[in-house]
A and B are shown apart, each in its own frame.
Chain A
Amino acid sequence: MKLKGKVHKYGADINTDVIIPARYLNISDPGELAKHCMEDIDREFIGRVQPGDIIVADTNFGCGSSREHAPLALKAAGISCIIARSFARIFFRNALNIGLPILECDEAAGKTDASDILEVELSRGEIVNTTKGVTFKAEPIPSFMLELIEAGGLIEYTKRKLAAGGGRS
């Protein structure tokens, strides 16, 4: 899977309360949620974001609440991939489960600026910054998780497992 998009850059500890504030959690429609995505730290985000764009952030992206509304809102806003030095663990699971690719890469986080263009080859964990002409190598996605992404997320994966007579322990 190859992704390409313009970079939106953020710092460390971007929490799920600012990705999608709780005052909007009385709705669960991704399109509606997307309208308010990031508004508490970056009012211009939603006007600026284009389909395919990529978020690059520092450490602990997605910390805080378990709300899956956060990756859903980002995905519905058009974000195709998130690259960070590290992710909060619940956000990490949620993003993969709903089919939003995420990559851990120190170098890309450090050497990419806002508005750079990135090309991402997921299976190889390769990130090319075409604006600066440099290539970064991300932490490889564990094969089990690639399977999850390729299946189209956890629900599709579980469907297969149930069909194969697995689970229900």
Chain B
Amino acid sequence: MTLVEKILAAHSNRETVSPGELINVRVDLILANDITAPLAIKEFRRLGIDRVFDPEKVVMVPDHFVPNKDIPSAEQAKMMREFALEQGLVYFEVGEMGIEHVILPEKGLVLPGDVVIGADSHTCTYGALGAFATGMGSTDIASAMATGDIWMKVPPTIRFIYQGKPGKWVSGKDLILYTIGDIGLDGALYSAMEFTGEAVDALSMDSRFTMANMAVEAGAKAGIFRVDERTLDYVKSRAQRPYTVYEPDDDAQYARTIEYDVSTIEPQVAFPHQPSNTRPISKAGEIKIDQAVIGSCTNGRIEDLIIAAEVLKGRKVNRRVRCIIIPGSQAVYLEALHRGLIQTFIEAGAVVSTPTCGPCLGGYMGILAAGERCVSTTNRNFVGRMGSTESEVYLASPAMAAASAILGRLASPEEVAG
């Protein structure tokens, strides 16, 4: 069995499972946010029961439109807060908050071998920890909050092997953008993506989160990494409960195996209006930008901010560009403060926001006008994603976003920082 099949078998009390089988899976953690929780709560109430199956296994995070951007958002956040407190769920108020997919791993709430379902498509981020994590809708979450289990179809696994040594400015973001560009928006539809190979072994945890995060952009049900020393290092100081490390069998069956030589991959940028519309930066041409956003559940972690600061240090953001930097959590914010990154950003002429999803989904804190272009470290650039349907979003790494902010056009970090 593959890694994913091992985890699913263990959570459905079966010796083995195989792709295509419909199984009932026990879940270790259930997640919802200020957009999806209100619908889930309404549906939960219809079930006619009073309590969730286990309050310690249900997490609610206000992150999309908080601190509340307007009155309707305030109502939604209030509904979620009241339910979370009434039920005694795991809940983070704004002073402790962050983007769900940044804080759950950070707080040790997701551990290797877990099955996690979340009413958010980027729940797949936790695959970086060797967990099986997948996004669902609010009704699925409502049902799972009641029963502690969920129906699922066992996905086939596609194995991606990354060989070689990446160039200086090539990050996890570039590898995943390259991969999505190669296989397309539905290249891994209904499947799990397993990321392996020497280049992946050398990646930091933050870069692995970035890659797993965007598995859904290729249609995947989950993205997953094997647990190694780096994973265990990350988890050790955070875990407050036991966990199990699963390994794929030597004779595991993969639907496909795709190999890449990362030494030939340049920094990537996804052009509007699809994450799969990627090009190497050398083929981007002259694209002037009005805004740069560095943050989100894809690239709002400390490594991302360190790299952005390396590029921005001692330089100035182009005077035509709004550079918006959003740490993914209060912990990331605090560490950036200790390291002097926040000062670097402000001196460079960037604005630094409290953690929030904000502009990533066109909520607030950086909405685009018609005709404007933004280079962003987020994960989607669909029509109207960050504001006007006549605006454009270009997806890239934090290094490229920072370099572009300085030059006022899409630019390779190499041009600025060598």
Contacts and interface: CB of A to CB of B under 8 A. Distances in A.
Interface of A: 13, 15, 17-18, 21-23, 25-28, 40-41, 59-60, 63-69, 71-72, 86, 88-90, 93-94, 97-98, 142, 144, 153-155, 157-159, 161-162, 166-169
A162 B135 contact: no
B47 A155 contact: yes
Which range holds the interface residue count of chain B?
35 or more
Contact of B47 (A40, A67, A90, A159): A159
Interface string B339-373: 00000000000000000000001110000000000
B382 A68 contact: no
Given A22-B362, A155-B43, A159-B47, A41 B383 contact: yes
B186 A68 contact: no
A168 B189 contact: no
Interface of B: 22, 26, 35-36, 38-39, 42-43, 46-49, 53, 64-65, 69-70, 72-73, 75-76, 118-121, 123, 135-140, 142-143, 146-149, 151, 185-186, 189-190, 216, 219, 221, 274, 361-363, 380, 382-385, 389
A31 to B, nearest CB: 14
A26 B70 contact: yes
B76 A28 contact: yes
A26 B65 CA distance: 8
B363 A22 contact: yes
Contacts of B137: 66-68, 71, 90, 93-94, 97-98
Contacts of B53: 167-168
Contacts of A153: 139
A40 B384 contact: yes
A56 to B, nearest CB: 17
B124 to A, nearest CB: 10
A64 B328 CA distance: 21
Contact of B139 (A15, A89, A97): A97
A60 B121 contact: no
B147 A66 contact: no
B138 A68 contact: yes
Contact of A166 (B123, B147, B361, B380): B147
A67 B38 CA distance: 11
A167 B147 contact: yes
B47 A162 contact: yes
List the 9 closest A-B pairs by CB distance, nearest first: A167-B147, A94-B137, A26-B72, A68-B137, A97-B139, A60-B186, A22-B361, A66-B121, A17-B382
A153 B121 CA distance: 21
Contacts of B72: 26-27
Contact of A17 (B43, B48, B385): B385
Given A90-B136, A93-B140, A68 B39 contact: yes
B189 A60 contact: yes
